[in-house]
């Protein structure tokens, strides 16, 4: 009934989805915990220390789950997609190795100091440790997204001996996809953490549990969600514009635009019939996509695609 490739795709998709449940919250919460600790250092109010400890525990749980599911993904690259790893491993493996050696070791080492250093380190030093954890966590995201950006838009390589081989590492790091993806992920990680803080705090406030603690937490969550949700939307818009610039056919495929259109509509809802190559039951904003991306789209030959 299912081909091996279908099962491999299903397995990888389920692992990726499960892994991604924990990653954004982890990225955002590290920054928030560090900010809470520095607020405690500057104000001396114990409530901020309690907040850093409480929300830090939730971060640790999600971090552990993210590591476990991420390791499974690593095995999938070599087992489910062995031929891809053979062909692209020289390039794809480099940022993944840097993620482990430079970022993961940094965050995990300082995380241990953070966990066991509450009563052993000066509060300023402990806040600095929390900052290094946040730096390592988001640096990890950077290297992962360098690898992902190469998959989206391959640059800095040559085809030699039946494999893709790295030609210029700096060009791979400077891939135009990297800034948009990185800031989009980091900002929306802060949005995710803010929403979860707000939701957990609201649950406790409805039950009159430690109202002062959770009221203050809820305020932090609301401000963080509002600010970084807005910035994340702007970063996503920038990323969409860049994709349209370098790979207009990809954006056309995302929107299921079957015919050349200028201006192109922005589809909010669509029932996509791939066999008939048309959309039915659509809810569209006429000209919306061309307005948002300042570009036109074609379903045939596309001129001017940049490397």
pLDDT classification of 296: cutoffs 50, 70, 90 = low
- Sketch the domain layout of the chain as residue ranges: 4-246, 251-293
Angle at 184 between CA 59 and CA 225, to 5 degrees: 55
Phi, psi (rounded to 5 degrees) for 34: -65, -40
Query: What is the per-residue pLDDT for 288?
Result: 66
Q: Is 162 helix (H, G, I), strand (E, B) or coil?
A: coil
pLDDT classification of 303: cutoffs 50, 70, 90 = very low
Q: Quote the radius of gyration of the chain (alpha carbons, Å).
A: 22
Neighbours of 104 (CB within 10 A): 18
29-43, 72-86, 129-143, 272-286: the lowest-pLDDT one: 272-286
CA dist 150 → 43, 83, 118, 288 (Å): 44, 17, 41, 29
Q: Which stretches of 99-210 are DSSP H helices?
A: 105-116, 123-152, 169-173, 177-205
Query: What is the per-residue pLDDT for 152?
Result: 87
For the stretch 234-267, pLDDT in tens is 999 888 888 888 888 888 888 888 887 777 787 7
CB-based contact 274:223 (threshold 8 Å): no
Between CA 50 and CA 68 the distance in angstroms is: 28
Between CA 64 and CA 98 the distance in angstroms is: 20
Element (H, E) at 9: helix 4-20
Instruction: Tell me the pTM.
Output: 0.85
């Amino acid at each position: 009934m299912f081909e091996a490739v279908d099962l491999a795709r299903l397995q990888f998709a389920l692992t990726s989805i499960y892994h991604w449940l924990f990653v954004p919250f982890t990225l955002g919460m590290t920054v928030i915990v560090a900010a809470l600790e520095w607020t405690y250092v500057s104000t001396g109010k114990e409530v901020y220390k309690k907040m850093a400890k409480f929300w830090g525990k939730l971060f640790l749980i999600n971090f552990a789950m993210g590591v476990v599911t991420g390791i499974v993904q690593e095995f999938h690259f070599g087992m489910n997609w062995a031929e891809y790893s053979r062909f692209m491993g020289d390039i794809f493996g480099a940022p993944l190795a840097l993620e482990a050696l430079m970022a993961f070791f940094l965050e995990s080492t300082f995380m241990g100091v953070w966990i066991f250093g509450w009563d052993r380190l000066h509060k300023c030093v402990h806040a600095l440790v929390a900052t290094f954890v946040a730096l390592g966590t988001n640096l990890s995201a950077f290297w992962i997204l360098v690898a992902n950006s190469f998959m989206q838009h391959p640059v800095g390589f040559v085809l030699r001996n039946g494999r893709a081989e790295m030609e210029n590492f700096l060009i791979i790091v400077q891939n135009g996809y990297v800034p948009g993806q990185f800031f989009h992920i980091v900002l929306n990680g802060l949005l995710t953490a803010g929403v979860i803080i707000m939701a957990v705090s609201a649950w406790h406030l409805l039950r009159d549990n430690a109202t002062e603690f959770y009221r203050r937490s809820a305020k932090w969550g609301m401000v963080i969600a509002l600010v970084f949700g807005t910035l994340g939307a702007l970063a996503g818009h920038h990323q969409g514009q860049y994709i349209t610039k370098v790979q207009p056919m990809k954006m056309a495929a995302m929107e299921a635009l079957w015919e050349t259109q200028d201006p192109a509509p922005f589809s909010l809802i669509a029932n996509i019939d791939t066999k008939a190559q048309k959309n039915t039951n659509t809810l569209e904003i006429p000209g919306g996509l061309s307005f948002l991306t300042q570009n036109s789209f074609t379903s045939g030959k596309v001129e001017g695609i940049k490397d």
